[in-house]
Structure formats: C-alpha cells, structure tokens
Chain A
Amino acid sequence: MIELNYAGETFELRNEPKELTLKEFENYYNIVNDPKYENRQIDKYFKVFEMMGVPDEILDALDQEEFVKLVNAFNNYKIDTKLKRKIKVGKRSYVAFEGKAADFKFMARDISLIERAANLEDGHFPSWVLAVMFKDEELTPTEHKDWSHIKHKQKLFLENLMSDVALPYISRFARRQVKTMENLQKDLKEINDGAEKA
C-alpha cells in the first residue's frame, strides 16, 4: 500500500497482490502489456493509476521525478511464490493439487487447457489459469475438464478472488513455457543442423 498525501487528505494506492482484486490485476496486466503503450511509458502508468482510482488532482500535481518514483514504488511489490493449494468461494471448495507445494508439477491436461485459454486472448488469462487449476472437490475429473464448467469458474473467480492467488501460478507457468520454448528451439536447431549436413 502506498500513501499519497494531497491537500491534507490521504489516498491509499493499493499495489500489493493481496490488496488487488483479480479483476483489478487483470486490468493492470492488460494495460502494461498493451502494445500501443510500448513507447509511451508515462502514458501507460497514468492509465494504470486512473484505473486504480488515484484522483486527478494528485496525478496533476506530480512532476516527472515524482511520477517516476511513484511508478517504481507501485511496481515494488513482493510476489509470494508459495502456491495456494485450496480456496473457498461461497460454499464450495476448490483444490489445485494434492500433497506439498514443493512437489507441485503442472499436469499435461491442465497445461493444454491453459494454452487453450491463452489462445482466446480475451484479457482474462490470470482468471482462466485459476479456473483450470482449481477444481471443485465435489466434481469428477470429467466434469473438471468440461470447458463450460471452466468458463463458469473463470467468471466466479474473477469476481471473488484476490490476485495473490493467481500470481504464483502465472509466474510458475510462464517459467515453464519459457523453458519449453528454449528446449524446442534447441531441438529444431539440431534438426536443421542435421538437415544441412545431409
């Protein structure tokens, strides 16, 4: 949480994952990854702060140095890398894995569903990840994989969860994808080198 003081009043700018709703986090995520802001960093963060409800009077009063300091402070949050195993929304419980978090591994079917969600490019990737990972304890494996059920969970989690649940999974998934791409590049290079020799 960052406290911004102006004209005797204090505005609390939430920036820690546990302070941001999943919806706010997705909005933030979409703004910072929007290609139209690639060369417009200041503009990008004005958009972020407006989205977070920072009053115009406060933003207008910042000079460039103060603005940059605010951006750095906003992005200086800790991500708890510990994966949450179980969550409760309403009366139902949802579980992501059994056993210890230290032994957690993504399963192929979940990876496939997350990739399918990523291909939608609808700006809701974080909530889709949670919808795939967290499974209703009372349902069967077949029901877990049903896309309309996953879609229902995505909307439910978006409205009811904080972003600290999603961040460790997104971070972990991103690392996995990067590693897979590196291995694939290596394999393709071997193939091409072999073809050239032939």
Chain B
Amino acid sequence: MELRKLNWSDCSLVQYLEIQDLLNDEELTSTDFVLEVADLFWPLEEDVDEDLLEKIRSYVSFVFKPCQPRLKQKITTEGREFHLKKFSTLPLSSFIDLDLTLVKNSLEECISPVANILYEGEVSLSTVVDDLFVTDLLGCVVEYIKYRKSVFQKYPNIFDTGEDDEYDDEEEEVQEEIEEDVDMDDEEEIDPAEAWMKTVFGLAGGDITKYPNVIDKPHMLVFNWVTTAESVAAKSGRQPSTE
C-alpha cells in the first residue's frame, strides 16, 4: 500500500482490532503508537526521520475519529460473494446465537461471529472475515443491533427470565430504588443461555423431539405464535399452550 492519508474504510478487521489494542495500551509513547499503527499498513523496515514520521502521523490520524459503519447487502472478496440475510427470516437458533454473542462480548469481539451468521455464501464468511473491511462488517453488526432492539421492544415477554413478578412503572421505580440499597453482588445473575433454554423448553412443551421444530423456525413466526397463544389464553382465562 502506498504511503497516503488513510481512513477506517482502508482498514481490515484484523487491523481494526490491532488498532483498538494499541489505543488502549497506556505504556506506548505517542511516537511508538504512530509507528505501531503505521507498521500495520506499511511495514517499515528502516528507521524513519522526523519529517517522514510527521507525515506518517498525519496519515494515521484517522484512528482518532469514529469508525463510520456502512451496511452492505453484498460483500465480494477473492471472487466470492456473500449476501446479507434478511433479518426477520433468521431461524430462532440464529437469533439466539446472535443474542448470546452480543450479550456476552464486547463490540470488537462480536464483529466476526455476528457477520459470520448474517452473511451467507458458498463458503463460510469466517474463512475470509479477517481481511474484509471493518466498515462493511460493522455495518451489519450495528444494523442488527438496532433490529434486535426493535424485536425485544415488540415482544417484551418472549424471554423467560424465571421472574414471576411484573411491575407497573411506579412499582418498577420503587423496586429500582430498593435494588440500589441492596448489595446486588449476592444476587444471582441471570444466565442468558439458561433463560433461552427455558424459553425453548416451554415452546417445545418439554418434549425434546420437538426441539428442532422450534429452533429451526423463523424467529418472527415463533414470537408471533407465542404472542398469539398468550393473547388467546388471556381472553379465555387459562394458561397458554405452546404445543
């Protein structure tokens, strides 16, 4: 790559992750930082003088601005195409995988596994993901995060946390005040994987042979089904059945 002013759109995922590590490394001097970043793009074999160093510093100053994601419906690399799946048709299994990935990892750790689930091609995206542009990969992650939020807002009751109490807004405010005074370290944290297992267990009616039936279905169909079952049960005054 020629020596020129760079942008995040020139960065691969691997370079992006390296830069994040460098930005968090408090031991580095400012010149070390510039040289380490520069080395990711133009392997510098010999020492550089102060004039060239100043140019390089300017060329890599993009690291101080936010990375602007761009959503790509199709990614093409090395003659291969990868297409973005329609989010609403993702099977429940993928929705759960994505949810657990996003909940348990930092944004940087999520990029590769999330993109691997959301894009499909002749081969797995994971074989080429490290060399893809980070702006493209971040595009799908950011867009999916928005989509996930909208799903949870639309179907707030699909996630079985095992908590029986439901609070109205005023009660919830009081509960939050109580929780601030109580030492929350002792309280058992809800494991999202376990909560999803309970949800799927309930949806399959406790019948393991029905497990594939549930998780292979599009998640929106499953959530609509559950919501409809609850609505019908509420009207008839009995517990909903999801068998």
CB-CB under 8 A for A105 and B57, given A115-B29, A115-B31, A195-B65? no
The answer to whether B124 has its CB under 8 Å from any CB of chain A is: no
In the assembly, what is the distance between CA of A179 and CA of B52, in Å? 14
Tell me if B50 and A108 are in contact (CB < 8 A).
yes
Q: Mark B56-83, 1 if CB is under 8 A from A, else 0.
A: 0110010011101000000000000000
List, in ascending order, chain A residues with CB within 8 A of B50's CB: 105-108, 111, 176
The answer to whether B127 has its CB under 8 Å from any CB of chain A is: no
Q: Which of B30, B47, B52, B61 contacts A109 (CB 8 A)?
A: B47
From B50, B57, B58, B64, name the one whose CB has the most chain A CB atoms within 10 angstroms: B50
Tell me if B58 and A112 are in contact (CB < 8 A).
no
Tell me if B49 and A188 are in contact (CB < 8 A).
no
Q: Output the nearest chain A residue to B48 by Cβ-Cβ distance.
A: A108
The answer to whether B54 has its CB under 8 Å from any CB of chain A is: yes
List, in ascending order, chain A residues with CB within 8 A of B29's CB: 112, 115-116, 119
The answer to whether A58 has its CB under 8 Å from any CB of chain B is: no
Tell me if A111 and B31 are in contact (CB < 8 A).
yes
Tell me if A107 and B49 are in contact (CB < 8 A).
yes
The answer to whether B51 has its CB under 8 Å from any CB of chain A is: yes
List, in ascending order, chain B residues with CB within 8 A of A106's CB: 49-50
A111 to chain B minimum Cβ distance, whole angstroms, is: 5
List, in ascending order, chain B residues with CB within 8 A of A108's CB: 31, 35, 47-50, 52-53
A127 to chain B minimum Cβ distance, whole angstroms, is: 18
Instruction: Number of A interface residues at 8 Å Cβ cutoff, please give it.
Output: 21
Which B25-58 residues sit within 8 Å CB-CB of chain A?
29-32, 35, 47-54, 57-58
In the assembly, what is the distance between CA of A191 and CA of B66, in Å? 9
Q: Output the nearest chain A residue to B68 by Cβ-Cβ distance.
A: A198
Q: Mark A30-67, 1 if CB is under 8 A from B, else 0.
A: 00000000000000000000000000000000000000
A168 to chain B minimum Cβ distance, whole angstroms, is: 15
CB-CB under 8 A for A195 and B49, given A112-B29, A112-B31, A115-B29? no
Closest 10 pairs between A and B when the two form their complex, measured CB to CB: A115-B29, A105-B49, A112-B31, A187-B61, A106-B50, A191-B65, A108-B53, A108-B48, A111-B31, A107-B47
Known pairs A108-B52, A191-B61, A194-B65; list 20 more (Cβ under 8 Å). Answer: A105-B49, A105-B51, A107-B47, A108-B31, A108-B47, A108-B50, A109-B47, A111-B53, A112-B29, A112-B32, A112-B35, A115-B32, A180-B54, A183-B54, A183-B58, A187-B58, A188-B64, A191-B64, A191-B65, A195-B66
